[in-house]
Chain A
Amino acid sequence: MSDVLAPGRSGGVSALYAGNARAVVARNLAATKTSNWTVVLSGFFEPVFYLFAMGVGLGTYVGDVTLPSGLHVEYAAYIAPGLLAVSAMNGAVYDSTWNVFFKMRFARLYEAMLATSLGPLDVAFGEISYALLRGAVYATGFLTVMQVMGLNLSWTAVLALPAVVLVAFGFASFGMAITSLMKTFQQMDWINIVLLPMFLLSATFFPISVYPAPLQWLIQAMPLWHAVELVRGLTTGDLPPSTWWHVVYFVAMIGIGLTVTTRRLRALFLA
Chain B
Amino acid sequence: MVAARGLTKRFGDFVAVDGIDFEVAPGESFGLLGPNGAGKSTTMRMVGAVSARSGGDLTVLGLDPDDHGPRIRAQLGVVPQEDNLDGELTARGNLVTYGRYFGIPRSVCAQRATELLEFAQLSERADAKVDELSGGMKRRLTIARALVNEPRLLMLDEPTTGLDPQARHILWDRLFRLKEQGTTLVVTTHFMDEAEQLCERLVVVDHGQIMAEGSPAELIRRYSSREVAELRFGTDRNEAAARVLAEVGDRLEILPDRVLVYASDGEAILEQVAARGLRPTTSLVRRSSLEDVFLRLTGRSLIE
A positions within 8 Å CB-CB of B: 1, 3-5, 7-8, 10-11, 14-15, 18, 20, 23-24, 26-27, 30-31, 34-36, 107-109, 111-119, 269-271
Chain A, Cβ-Cβ closest to B96: A30
Task: Please give, as numbers and ranges, the residues of chain A lying within 8 Å of B73 by CB-CB distance.
Answer: 115-117
Of B70, B75, B82, the residue contacting A18 (CB under 8 A) is: B70
B positions within 8 Å CB-CB of A: 1, 26, 48, 50-52, 61-64, 66-76, 78, 80, 82, 84-90, 93, 96-98, 100-103, 129, 149, 152
- Tell me whether A4 and B63 are in contact (CB under 8 A): yes
B158 to A: closest C-beta gap in Å: 15
- Tell me whether B103 and A14 are in contact (CB under 8 A): no
Interface pairs (21), CB distance under 8 Å: A5-B71, A7-B68, A20-B101, A23-B101, A30-B96, A34-B89, A35-B129, A107-B86, A107-B87, A111-B50, A115-B76, A115-B78, A115-B80, A116-B74, A116-B102, A117-B73, A117-B74, A117-B102, A118-B70, A270-B69, A271-B52
Chain B, Cβ-Cβ closest to A26: B100
- Tell me whether A271 and B51 are in contact (CB under 8 A): yes
Task: Please give, as numbers and ranges, the residues of chain B lying within 8 Å of A109 by CB-CB distance.
Answer: 84, 86
Task: Please give, as numbers and ranges, the residues of chain A lying within 8 Å of B48 by CB-CB distance.
Answer: 115
Task: Please give, as numbers and ranges, the residues of chain A lying within 8 Å of B26 by CB-CB distance.
Answer: 3
- Tell me whether A5 and B75 are in contact (CB under 8 A): yes
Q: Given A8-B71, A107-B87, A271-B52, A3 and B82 touching (CB < 8 A)?
A: no
- Tell me whether A113 and B67 are in contact (CB under 8 A): no
- Tell me whether B68 and A5 are in contact (CB under 8 A): yes
Of A1, A27, A31, A113, the residue contacting B152 (CB under 8 A) is: A1
- Tell me whether A14 and B70 are in contact (CB under 8 A): yes
A7 to B: closest C-beta gap in Å: 6
Chain B, Cβ-Cβ closest to A27: B97
Known: A112-B84, A112-B85, A270-B52. 5 other contacts (CB 8 A): A4-B61, A5-B71, A23-B97, A31-B89, A115-B50
Distance between Cα atoms of A3 and B76 in the complex (Å) = 12
- Tell me whether A113 and B61 are in contact (CB under 8 A): no
Q: Given A34-B93, A116-B149, A10 and B68 touching (CB < 8 A)?
A: yes
3 closest Cβ pairs, A-B complex: A4-B62, A10-B67, A31-B88
- Tell me whether B88 and A113 are in contact (CB under 8 A): no
Chain A, Cβ-Cβ closest to B103: A20
Task: Please give, as numbers and ranges, the residues of chain A lying within 8 Å of B78 by CB-CB distance.
Answer: 115
Distance between Cα atoms of A116 and B72 in the complex (Å) = 9
Distance between Cα atoms of A111 and B1 in the complex (Å) = 23
- Tell me whether B71 and A108 are in contact (CB under 8 A): no
- Tell me whether B90 and A111 are in contact (CB under 8 A): no
Chain A, Cβ-Cβ closest to B69: A15
Distance between Cα atoms of A171 and B80 in the complex (Å) = 34
Distance between Cα atoms of A115 and B26 in the complex (Å) = 21
- Tell me whether A3 and B129 are in contact (CB under 8 A): no
- Tell me whether B62 and A118 are in contact (CB under 8 A): no
Q: Given A5-B75, A15-B69, A27 and B86 touching (CB < 8 A)?
A: yes
Task: Please give, as numbers and ranges, the residues of chain B lying within 8 Å of A111 by CB-CB distance.
Answer: 50, 80, 84
Q: Given A30-B89, A115-B78, A5 and B72 touching (CB < 8 A)?
A: yes
> Which of B70, B96, B129 has most A Cβ within 10 Å?
B70
Chain B, Cβ-Cβ closest to A119: B70
Task: Please give, as numbers and ranges, the residues of chain A lying within 8 Å of B84 by CB-CB distance.
Answer: 107-109, 111-112
- Tell me whether A34 and B149 are in contact (CB under 8 A): no
Q: Given A18-B103, A111-B84, A270-B52, A116 and B98 touching (CB < 8 A)?
A: yes
- Tell me whether B98 and A15 are in contact (CB under 8 A): no
Distance between Cα atoms of A14 and B50 in the complex (Å) = 14
Task: Please give, as numbers and ranges, the residues of chain A lying within 8 Å of B129 by CB-CB distance.
Answer: 34-35
Task: Please give, as numbers and ranges, the residues of chain A lying within 8 Å of B85 by CB-CB distance.
Answer: 112
